[in-house]
Amino acid sequence: MSRFLSTWLFIVAIRSAAAQTATTDSLQIANDSLHFKIVEATDIEASFPGGEKEWRKYIQNNLRAYVPAKNRAPAGIYKVWVQFTVDKHGNVSNVKPLTNNGFGMEKEVVRIIKNSLRWDPASQHGKIVASSRAQPVTFIVEADGFEVLSKTPYILYQGIDNPVKIKARKVKPKDLQVTISDGMIIPVGNGSYIVRLGDKTGRVVIRLFNKRNREIGAASFEVKPKEQASSPPVIIKG
């Protein structure tokens, strides 16, 4: 059985529930040829009725972009991958998430894929075949009332000093208390911090509190290997 895996990238922008605002959502869709991957080539890939344009429209009209904020996801950028099969009859089956970001994100993408219409199946050498696809959806949960700014938005790197700038509305930098779920976050003055992480990849969460120890908000950062940093590490004593 020939199998074909291809993807489009959908980006969903919403507000952070940590600030108790998640009443609106918007959907932006971006094409990126780097996100197309072939497992086993087919002559004609499976397609949604009406093609890519209608598939994008289906996602846009049916994805509940507010789900992560409703489930109180920290501000951040979360890429969800869901794999599924289009069988010889065009039926969608074997829908399963390949990521585990949580906060209802994978569940929501699985839901809309399962509810999609019957597809036009793929073909190989003139024969109808089943094919496998993987769909990425990137949720962007926006901070409201605070900022946690890194050199690359919502990405930190292992084993280097990561400069971070933090500020919160109506809270002076000296009154701001900051914690991190793993590693160290070191204040260096005027809302600037250095984040030092260990050797684990995954995610870390930075949380902000006022001087009364009330949480202002939280931001989730993906942790990548230091080799992927776009420039030499910045070393700051502290």
Per-residue pLDDT of the chain (238 residues; tens, 9 = 90+): 323 333 345 665 443 333 322 323 333 333 333 333 333 566 788 899 999 899 989 998 999 989 999 999 999 999 999 999 999 999 999 999 999 999 999 999 999 999 999 999 998 888 888 888 889 999 999 998 999 999 999 999 999 999 999 999 989 988 999 999 999 999 999 999 999 998 888 999 999 999 999 999 999 999 999 888 875 444 333 3
Write the DSSP string, 99-166.
Answer: ----TTHHHHHHHHHHTSPPPBPEEETTEEE-EEEEEEEEEEEE-SSEEEEESBTTEEETTSEEEEEE
Q: Report the DSSP beta bridge partners of residue 146.
A: 168
Does residue 71 fall inside a structural domain?
A: yes
Last residue of a domain, one of 89, 110, 142: 142
Q: Tell me the CATH number at 212.
A: 2.60.40.10
Does residue 235 fall inside a structural domain?
A: no
CA distance 37 to 23: 35
Does residue 236 fall inside a structural domain?
A: no
CA angle 80, 81, 84 (to 5 degrees): 140
Whole-number pLDDT of residue 112: 95
Q: Which residue, chain included where needed, has tokens 């344009």?
A: 53
CA distance 30 to 180: 32
Residues 68 and 184 in one domain: no
**Who contacts 127 (Cβ-Cβ below 8 Å, separation ≥6)?**
none
CA distance 112 to 92: 11
Residues 89 and 196 in one domain: no
Q: Is the pTM of this model over 0.85?
A: no
Burial of 22 (0-12, 13-18, 19+ CB in 10 A): buried
Whole-number pLDDT of residue 231: 53
Residues 129 and 150 in one domain: no
User: Domain of 78?
Assistant: 9-142
Q: Which residue, chain included where needed, has tokens 């932006």?
A: 28
